[in-house]
Structure 1
């Protein structure tokens, strides 16, 4: 089964609000979003596109950036979407680490009462580095609840935040302090791809999310993504997880480009679902 590790289907509850702090993303991804028919696809068509691409389940993620940018996709809204389509979606909670104990209580409620399966933290939107001490109680709670955490790593294109919040080296400090924590770093660290690979090599509980990039770029000279292909088909083959990031790019194109990579079919299958199942504890 193909698991899309990260997409935002056309469902009103999954909108972050005006999203003005992300306006520059629309410029950067304009051509690929046009190919994905952003804003032109309803949910029925979206499900048909999933089926055509062979996608069985999609991870959808809550986000809380209220203290920094005033927006939120609530845990309750994500849980309601999952409840309406339980065979289609896996839900991640989203809390704002800047809220302290409130965030901790919201995470526990989201998992134990709402049934969400992981934590999503967009550090650049919270204006926090992954190793900020405000994150640490949440990591401890994730271990206690036996859930994984998704952390945005690599460049961000918001002109209202700093790229430094996505440096992979910060994850090394987190995983030294929390070796039991299951983390997926996604997107995969560009322009610090080799730095991320080094951290993943050091820590067996770090997965890499091939999300929001065109897979074919891993075969393009000087793109910066090439090392992902080399390590992803060898020593880190069990820790690559693919996601389409729809509507940032077409779902079918992502799956086709992964299948077209110079990677053995069994390794591509791991990237497209097998590794995600293990990361998610399915």
Structure 2
């Protein structure tokens, strides 16, 4: 049994798998607690993949689920991609597995990406340049992008400020400049068939993200990580017009719940004909769940 679009009200393209069945977490405790404080959550929330599936099933939503592999910079092993994919495979009616491969892994990372798609059914890849400590246009990452482009699955890049490291002296070594969306413009040029998602309203580079998404036909924007009531006005304007087919619903669960996000989205000045595109239709086309 797979995803039945007719049964869904939305597809959340940005959901984190923060813990494995054996209790291993995706981030060190200090970073988890700091991000929870930044987002105003009551302590670190770490639902399992199975709990996440039930949460979204109850809301008649599907979710794109991934961990973040930033082991080179953080010195902390990620939740294994294979585990995330296997757990998602138990809930194919609501979960879409993505993976994350640290570009610092080099040739081993390329082999890993191919195996994850071929043997584990992974449908895309998540990158977090600030956590991974590398500009997304660093040529060291290019063999990995080449493989992902060849595999025909999307690459989702964190952009803008991050709550991870926020409030910790020195930001825990997390450098925001790596997540400027203009750096991803180079990736879109050099890999013209690669489907790219710019995650989050890209503060303080919102205009740059809009420019890249307008200019490059296979660059999309997800709206995760912020309550819609805080969206910059130019983001809302472009979502209603030039980017109405390229903007995607994302929450950043469990840091922000889809319940909160959708409540605030309902009050946003979005055209009636655009709302279903943002909530479900654009993602369905991007992930091959619906016909173009």
TM over 0.5: yes
Residues 1:228 and 2:263 aligned together = no
Does residue 1:127 correspond to 2:133, yes or no?
yes
Tell me how far 1:178 sits from its aligned partner.
1.3
Cα displacement string for residues 161-180 of structure 1 (whole angstroms, at most 9, x for unaligned residues):
10001111111111111111
1:179 corresponds, among 192, 198, 203, to 192
TM-score normalised by the chain length of structure 2: 0.86
Gaps of 5+ in 1: 219-224
Structure having greater relative contact order (Cα 8 Å, sep ≥ 6): 1
Over aligned residues, Cα RMSD in angstroms? Answer: 2.2
Which stretch of structure 1 is more off in the superposition, 194-203 or 11-20? Answer: 11-20
Moved runs in structure 1, 4+ residues, more than 4 A? Answer: 40-49
In structure 1, the residue matched to 2:69 is: 64
Secondary structure of 2:26 counterpart: coil
TM-fit CA distance, 1:22:
4.9
> Which of 182, 200, 204 in structure 2 is aligned with 1:169?
182
For 1:237, what is the secondary structure of its paired residue?
Answer: coil
CA distance in 1, matches of 2:48, 2:106: 37
Task: Give the length in aligned residue pairs.
Answer: 271
Q: 1:42 to 1:201 in 2, by over 3 A?
A: closer
Is the contact made by 1:96 and 1:126 (CA closer than 8 Å) also made in structure 2? yes
* TM score, norm. by length of structure 1: 0.88
| Contact 2:17–2:67 under 8 Å retained in 1 | no
| Match in the other structure for 1:7 | 15
C-alpha separation in 2, matches of 1:53 and 1:23: 27
Distance across 2 between alignment mates of 1:150 and 1:250: 20
The structure whose residues are more often helix, as a share, is: 1
Partner of 2:284: 277
Task: Quote the offset at 1:40 in angstroms.
Answer: 8.7
Partner of residue 3, structure 2: none
The 5 Å alignment of 1:233-252 reads 233-252=240-259
Aligned to 1:203: 216
Q: Helix, strand or coil: the match of 2:282? A: helix
2:203 pairs, out of 186, 190, 197, with: 190
Does 1:16 find its partner at 2:26?
A: yes
Residues 136/22 of structure 1: CA separation in 2 closer, same or farther (3 Å cut)? farther
**Corresponding residue for 1:27?**
37
